[in-house]
Structure 1
Amino acid sequence: MRAWRVNELGHPTTALNLEDIPSPEPAAGEVRIRVEATTVNFADILVCQGIYQDRPGVPLTPGTESCGIIQAAGPGVDLAIGTRVAGMTNMKHGGFAEEALVKAATALVMPDDLEAADATVLYSTFQTAHVGLFHRCNLEVGDWVVILGASSGVGAAAVQLASARGARVIATAGGEAKRAHCQTLGAEITVDSTGDGAADELYEAAMQATDGAGVNVAFDPVGGPLGDVTRRLMTFEGRLVVIGFTSGSIPSYPANHVLVKNYTVHGMAWAEYAARRRSVIETAHVDLLDLFRQGRIRTDVETIALDALPEALAALEARTVTGRLALVP
């Protein structure tokens, strides 16, 4: 089978090699799938460089979230051969290939009539947004929510889910085109995230919209100066969920500030729910499929061929991508 391999850690433009390798054999708790689609994430760039939190060691095939048909199963797996699933790969034999190894504990059965690219985005991106907003932050109708990086995959998913729930969305995005895109997703107010004054502009816009009260929820996959300002925007009993740090800068939340303002900071590593509290992701799965079939959320996913992966990762790194990318081998 063909697979993108990293034999020496480095930037994807030099580290990735398209090779023919044998089909991987699933270990206990794993299944091998024929890959139908794999999401292309910023995390994949970090995996190639060896600076992601999971470091499986080289050689490896990146691609963390895939949809496909089970071809083989390791010991201790109840899923049947031929079942269509989406799940987290084992990071050693990831989804940027014709076949991948998926951790069975993370797998969710996907309907046969759902496009594979849609399935991967609903599985990964929308699951993260759903669990972060509703399970961690208990977002309610009428709440004000700030969503950073709102034109990105997880940010765009969060905008749609918050809007569908009846919350009022303040979104940040880079440039007029991406801000306009956020409005089509349901954002009520948008703020340009580019420029040195973006954090101040976000603060002023949010405080004006809420008559100085601050926001109920903040959803932060970005970090940096914008992430830092979200804590200042918290209203009484506000909820802030940390999703990631695509800016490369990790904000701090001083304990005295948390105490005085009476807000809560939540972490949200979705894979931990698959391992520790599967009922949370199963509930989200049912809700997401219903919302998608009703047309209340959309994936905005663009598909790419296996050969086009390096260019896709470069576009992702340059932040020229709106929505999601999925590799279809």
Structure 2
Amino acid sequence: MILLFVADPLETFKTYKDTTFSMMREAARRGHVLWACHPADLVWVSGGRVTARGARRIALTGDEHDWFRTEETADLGLAAGTDAIIMRKDPPFDSEFFYATHLLSQAEREGARVFNKPAALRDHPEKLAILEFPEYISPTLVTRSPEAIKAFHAEHRDIILKPLDGMGGMGIFRVGPDALNLGSIIETLNKGGAETVMVQRYVPEIVKGDKRVLVIGGEVVPWCLARIPQGSEIRGNLAAGGKGVAQPISARDREIAEGVAARLAPRGLLLMGLDVIGDCLTEINVTSPTGFQEISRQSGIDVAQLFVDALERELARR
């Protein structure tokens, strides 16, 4: 098969932990042909089809640093030139990401197969996708109103505030019962009413880890990655210094993941990364969920193999 990965620049990959790299490695092991491009390379012109300008056909070298070599550079037609397109551009979910999904939707109309499905990416932004599952989440507020945030704090006393377009724990604040700096934090995130903020009741089980539970092809991976905050941090994100510890999923983790999978996988989400703190679902990551390598190293489960298995099954249904 010919696979095109739409991703961040290859030169930025940290191959010892990068999930997209682990997907590529498993696909190459099976003999699939790898191409790569950046969303900025996607082009459509009337009378033509969506093309990845200057896409690179790559081979993996096995070297930790110079991990790939470019075998060929070409303008690759997404529908005619590929068997599958893997959309793996990291957040933020900004306007350019949104526009890229529309170009990928056009490629689908032309006959391309895209994973995750572009319309599903648009419909399920990381933070807001949890609103469909109130039975699994902690008390949550989404608003532009400073007054509503202050009222939510007065009710719940210990809260987490975060921007809707952040990643890796960026821009997350905790405000305790003393309300220290609440006004300033609201001003920083809310920007005078210009930007929407998500506020959630603080879940104290974060000290045991922010669990990344993976769902692949509608099936729940039986091990998760608990990202445990270190030192004085409240954030467990690995990008914020959290320690990743793989562990078997709990009964509650499975209940949440299976409930989400039953509803969302049929919409074209081949891969999801659910964030669970204690018994509460906090995010549903669909743009480029990570954690494959950390879970694989510590559990013995080859997560990339599960992903490529699921991808091949989907393509066989065509």
TM category, shorter: 0.3 to 0.5
User: So what's the TM-score if we normalise by structure 1?
Assistant: 0.31
Q: TM-score, normalised by structure 2?
A: 0.32
